[in-house]
Structure 1
């Protein structure tokens, strides 16, 4: 009881300073309890943000490119890079895709000439491989995209 009585005679600034000190120390105690796993700890320990996987990065890039073409409307052909989008889509899915599904995934019409022409060129150069169940990434494209996304 006596310490509280003495506190009444402290100047206002000293009482405010002491009260702030008590609050800070209570916060420190709560954080220590949360970190140590002591029950009743309630203050969450901050965690670093989750880093997206390379496939998630590929999906974000592909979505941005498709959205850009959508916004560009009739001038969308000026913003296309089909070879890049084809290998990103194959990297992102991680499984074989039939030609039509691949072209739909990147927003190119399967009946057009552009998509099939780029697929044929990528297959010819070994960047994309054709299998019975669809197209997959070739070793050069896989290695390049792995290095590319390692920098994110």
Structure 2
């Protein structure tokens, strides 16, 4: 991405709702993965991808299945589960059992995780109205 394109990208993020900013950043990272191909793992940050995916959900504190969060991390499942466990340990994400299907577990941002993501994305997007 050229400096002009990067500036345009950042400017296009200002004044957008935080889930939209998170979704755009996540998509931009997938473009980077596609362009760099096999070398894209050099830039890996699975925990950040999980947080972006959870933040990008259209409803506040929407629950996402563990398997979906692992897919969002774009790494092998064992690696994604390790990163997810660390996010839970640090209080950014919480696990919730599915009341209908006991085999399934959901994850969502905690209030603390949501507040931190909003602060971070507001700063990234240049939104001064936190």
Unaligned runs of 5+ in 2: 1-13, 99-105, 126-130
Could you say which residue in structure 2 is the equivalent of 1:105? Answer: 72
Could you say which residue in structure 2 is the equivalent of 1:127? Answer: 92
Contact 1:62 1:106 (C-alpha < 8 Å) held by counterparts: no
Could you say which residue in structure 1 is the equivalent of 2:116? Answer: 144
Shift of 1:80: 0.9
**Alpha-carbon deviations, 1:72-114, whole Å to 9, x = none?**
211121111111111111011141111111222343343xx22
Shift of 1:70: 2.0
Q: Secondary structure at the residue paired with 1:58?
A: helix
**1:69 to 2:33 alignment:** yes
Contact 2:47 2:73 (C-alpha < 8 Å) held by counterparts: no
State which structure, 1 or 2, has the greater radius of gyration over its C-alpha atoms: 1
Could you say which residue in structure 2 is the equivalent of 1:20? Answer: none
CA distance in 2 between partners of 1:52 and 1:99 (Å): 27
TM-score for both structures, normalised by structure 2: 0.69
Q: Secondary structure at the residue paired with 1:52?
A: coil
Distance 1:63 1:106, change over 3 A: farther
CA distance in 1 between partners of 2:18 and 2:115 (Å): 12
Cα RMSD of the aligned pairs, angstroms, is 1.8
CA distance in 1 between partners of 2:96 and 2:34 (Å): 31
Unaligned runs of 5+ in 1: 1-49
Greater RCO (Cα-Cα under 8 Å, separation 6 or more): 2
